[in-house]
Amino acid sequence: MLTYVVKRLLVAVPTLLAVLTVVFFFVRIAPGDPAFIILGDQASPQALATLRHELGLDQPMIAQYVDFMTMVLSGDLGSSLVTHQSVWSEVAKVLPYTIELTIAALAIGTVLGLPLGVVAARRRNETIDYVARFLSLLGLSFPAFVSAILLLLAFAIELRWFPVISEARANDPMSRLSALVLPALNLGLIMVAYVMRVARSSMLGVLGEDYIRTARSKGVPAGMVIWRHALRNALIPVVTVVGLYLGVLIGNSVLTEIVFNRPGLGKLIVNSLNQRDYTTLEGLMVIYAFFIVVANLLTDLAYGLVDPRVKHQ
Amino acid sequence: MKRIGLMAACVWTGAALLAASAPTHAEKVLNVGMAAADLGSLDPHRTATTPDKAIIGWMFNGLVRFKPGTMNPESIEPDLAESWDATEDQLSWTFHLRKGVQCNNGYGELTSDDVVFSLKRASDSKISSFSSDFADVASIEATDPYTIQIKLKQRPPSLLGILTNYQGGNIVCKKAVEKLGDDFRAKAVGTGPFAFSEYTPNQSVVLVANKNYFRGAPKIDKIVYRYIPSDATRDLAYTSGEIDLIYGRQDQTWAERMKSDPHTIVDVFGPGELSNINLNITKKPLDDIRVRKAIAYAVNRAELVKFKGELTARAAVSIIPHDYLGTDEQAPLYPYDPDKAKALLAEAGFANGVTIESVQTSLPPMLNTMQIVQAELKKVGINLQLNVVDHPTFHAQIRKDLSPVVMYSAARLPVADVYLVQFFHSRSIVGTPTAVTNFSHCDMADKEIDAARLATDPAKQKELWKKAQEILIEQVCAVPLYEQLQVWARRDTLDYGYKLEASLTLGPIINEQSTLK
């Protein structure tokens, strides 16, 4: 299995280089001058020209591309045009926050969504099924930033269980945890909606299969039918959804990060875009692409766990 | 607020320990909520954005300053300089520094070396965003540790204006700049009432009181400047009591809602950022003055002010903002007269309407104004097309002269010359080597603007500026709309210590006189 993983990661490298190239040219083609954004609208043309020269922006595009690729291939993602800090260190500062939010949201989504979907499938067309489907519809329809504000109103203003602005200090695990609750709930509850739906329909499909009928007629208790026979088969589409959603979560968390005032990868991408911070954008895109690759890899490995018919050479 | 379980225990223990070693009074901490994602730069010679400008106002001094709460050049008073004198021709100025002023963060006494270094840095186009303000300065020298001599090539409209605690006039400490290098951006050091203490990216900057401030120790011990880009979150944080001073929205509904709270004071103050619609007189059909006049007659300023909200906006009085030194408060602006507009268009050969293209920013307050203007122009037969792009793209494209109609919103140093030169003098025309923000390509008032600069009699100077405004308005180089004032809100426990009418930093000045109950 190790060779499988290594092979997959190696194959990812050309993908990442391709992403880098595409992003490099696209962001530079977009109008907007980073020097102007940094210096402001009262700066003289000389000041702007000097800064552009310092940042290497007055070179022809191909020359800039060659310089950049050489740097990246030697392992250096460059420095932010705005803060002059290394891109990698900027990303490293926010990455833990994004990862913990993603994992927490994923955990809430699956731990709540899966059982809910299974129960809704078992008790199809009963009250609990309708309730679950209605809540799922709400979860799918609510934009993340609306539900985020509602959570703040409920838990921070009315109940006062949390402050509105949670300063997650890097070396204080308790503050990190308490700052994670509401944002994770926000993204997690939306994910519950997705997972529940897929789990339910997949479960319904499986419950109609012959081998389930056989198991029941054999006298296998209902609980065992669900757990041992139905669930593992029903899990495959759920794993797919969760795997896909993992990639989506990292980028789409930006609205949640903004409302809850949390540092994160999504927010960093949006800010760099607004500031036309080319180097940070490129670095972020590569890291993001790498995460998608890893997410897909993990999904594939998960299939192997769930479905013994899948073999990884 | 309630924290759960273990957290509560920790807080309780911590509080007990703190109480055991408590100082004689509780620490006064001012929490401020700002609409920004992160710090841009605390370097006063580089900062261009409102969020950064506000906090810089609490950290630095200039040789002179505007009296806190005003931005009237006639109220400029001593700051780091105790006194000054100038030669008859006003081309050579000598400033006498206060003795014993300390640089924050342990960088020692401020001497003329620091001042000369700082002013030279501010005039260096390689480092400073405001170097063009110092274009008329020939030399800056320290004649002794507490005396500085500034020689000028020609008289700028207001030397004192450039040397105030605004933009390039903010004095930075030499040793700090040299020691911190690139880090100065996030840890700037000045002589002001508050000094940099801590910066958490994307979250906050913490300032602590400068106990050795030469005007007296501040009564507020600490300021936590929090970056909260989401408007809703910021409002909620104010409601929950987590912030006491909040950057507002230049929005009537917001101001009214905040005002309705008995413990909240809404501060609306200058400078008013003037929104002008600049018209490029070299592009068809705007090259025909009748078309430009038609646009001026078709725009309903009063309607726009009503839309923006009378609490936070006021109608423009001239082609430069109200209350600047030299503003013609009764300038002959074209009144609202749609019939006249239609008649002029017919005369110009556009009886069946005319289409004009423009590039417009997607920034909501500017975009919705232009949508109203578009509707007003439609009524007289002018079809204004708005190509909406994002804000940085907008700024890039208008400077490449790609839009014949440019709606620009700005405030500048409150002396008529600055606005007139940057927006309406031929040397500032966009696309030229000395470009600033002259989108109209106008040059008809060059003579008056240049003469006003050289005028030694203040009355004559004002007259020349008045003439310049008259000419530019008559020629419709721009159609003035309204001025948007600055809006902040605070809890009534915060008292600035002075009356806030205007602040060039676009935020209230927190100084040694400010108190927090």
Tell me the per-residue pLDDT of A271-304, one tens digit each, with 9 for 90 and over: 888 888 888 888 888 888 888 888 888 888 888 7
Mean pLDDT of A134-160: 88
Chain centroid to Cα B502, Å, comes to 10
Looking at residue B173, what DSSP letter applies? P
Between CA B42 and CA B40 the distance in angstroms is: 7
What pLDDT is recorded for position B4?
Answer: 54
What pLDDT is recorded for position B191?
Answer: 94
What part of A 194-253 touches B (C-beta under 8 Å)? none
pLDDT at A98 over 90: no
Q: Hey, of B205, B233, B398, which one would you mutate to test binding to chain A, going by the most A CBs within 10 A of its CB?
A: B233
Mean pLDDT of B478-501: 94
Residue type for position B316: A
Least confident of A125-134, A244-253, B137-146: A244-253
Mean pLDDT of A29-34: 80
What pLDDT is recorded for position B195?
Answer: 94
Min Cα separation A145/chain B (Å): 10
**Helices A87-122 + A127-141 axis angle, to 10:** 160
What pLDDT is recorded for position B22?
Answer: 47
Least confident of A204-213, B16-25, B77-86, B431-440: B16-25
What pLDDT is recorded for position B448?
Answer: 94
Q: Hey, of A42, A161, A281, which one would you mutate to test binding to chain B, going by the most B CBs within 10 A of its CB?
A: A42
Closest-approach residue (CA) in chain A for B46:
A39
Between CA A288 and CA A298 the distance in angstroms is: 15
The half-sphere exposure of B146 on its side-chain side, counting CA atoms within 13 A, is: 11
pLDDT at B223 over 50: yes
- 3 state SS of B516: strand
Instruction: Sort out which chain A residues have CB atoms less than 8 A from B185's CB and list them.
Output: 83-84
A31 and B389 within 8 Å at the Cβ level: the answer is: yes
What pLDDT is recorded for position B151?
Answer: 94
Between CA B341 and CA B381 the distance in angstroms is: 9
pLDDT at B396 over 60: yes
Mean pLDDT for chain B overall: 90
What part of A 10-69 touches B (C-beta under 8 Å)? 30-33, 36-47, 50
Mean pLDDT for chain A overall: 84
B230 and A83 within 8 Å at the Cβ level: the answer is: no
pLDDT at A228 over 80: no
Q: How confident is the model at residue B102 (pLDDT cuts 50, 70, 90)?
A: very high
Q: Hey, of B56, B129, B132, B427, which one would you mutate to test binding to chain A, going by the most A CBs within 10 A of its CB?
A: B129
* Both structure tokens of B327: 């503003």
3-state SS record for chain A? CHHHHHHHHHHHHHHHHHHHHHHHHHHHHCCCCHHHHHHCCCCCHHHHHHHHHHCCCCCCHHHHHHHHHHHHHCCCCCECCCCCCEHHHHHHHHHHHHHHHHHHHHHHHHHHHHHHHHHHHHCCCCHHHHHHHHHHHHHHHCCHHHHHHHHHHHHHHHCCCCCCCCCCCCCCHHHHHHHHHHHHHHHHHHHHHHHHHHHHHHHHHHHCCHHHHHHHHHCCCHHHHHHHHHHHHHHHHHHHHHHHHHHHHHHHCHHHHHHCCCCCHHHHHHHHHHHCCHHHHHHHHHHHHHHHHHHHHHHHHHHHHHCCCCCCC
Instruction: Sort out which chain A residues have CB atoms less than 8 A from B130's CB and list them.
Output: 42-43
What does DSSP say about strands B29-34 and B245-247: parallel, antiparallel, or unpaired? Answer: parallel
Please answer whether residues B327 and B318 qualify as being in contact, where contact means their C-beta atoms are separated by less than 8 angstroms. yes
pLDDT in tens, B190-214: 999 999 999 988 889 999 999 999 9
Q: Which residues contact B24 (CB under 8 A, 6 or more apart)?
A: none
pLDDT at B186 over 60: yes
A164 and B395 within 8 Å at the Cβ level: the answer is: no
Using a pLDDT cut of 70, give the percent of chain B over it: 95
pLDDT in tens, B104-129: 998 989 999 999 999 999 998 888 88
Between CA B52 and CA B38 the distance in angstroms is: 9
Closest-approach residue (CA) in chain A for B433:
A45
pLDDT at B24 over 70: no
Q: How confident is the model at residue B6 (pLDDT cuts 50, 70, 90)?
A: low
Min Cα separation B253/chain A (Å): 19
Min Cα separation A246/chain B (Å): 24
Burial class from Cβ neighbours inside 10 Å (0-12, 13-18, 19+) for residue B505 reads buried
pLDDT in tens, B244-262: 999 988 888 899 999 999 9
Please answer whether residues A93 and A173 qualify as being in contact, where contact means their C-beta atoms are separated by less than 8 angstroms. no
Mean pLDDT of A135-154: 88
Mean pLDDT of A217-239: 82
pLDDT at A44 over 90: no
Chain centroid to Cα A242, Å, comes to 11
What part of A 71-100 touches B (C-beta under 8 Å)? 82-84, 93-94
pLDDT at B224 over 80: yes
Instruction: Sort out which chain A residues have CB atoms less than 8 A from B126's CB and list them.
Output: 47, 50
What pLDDT is recorded for position B5?
Answer: 57
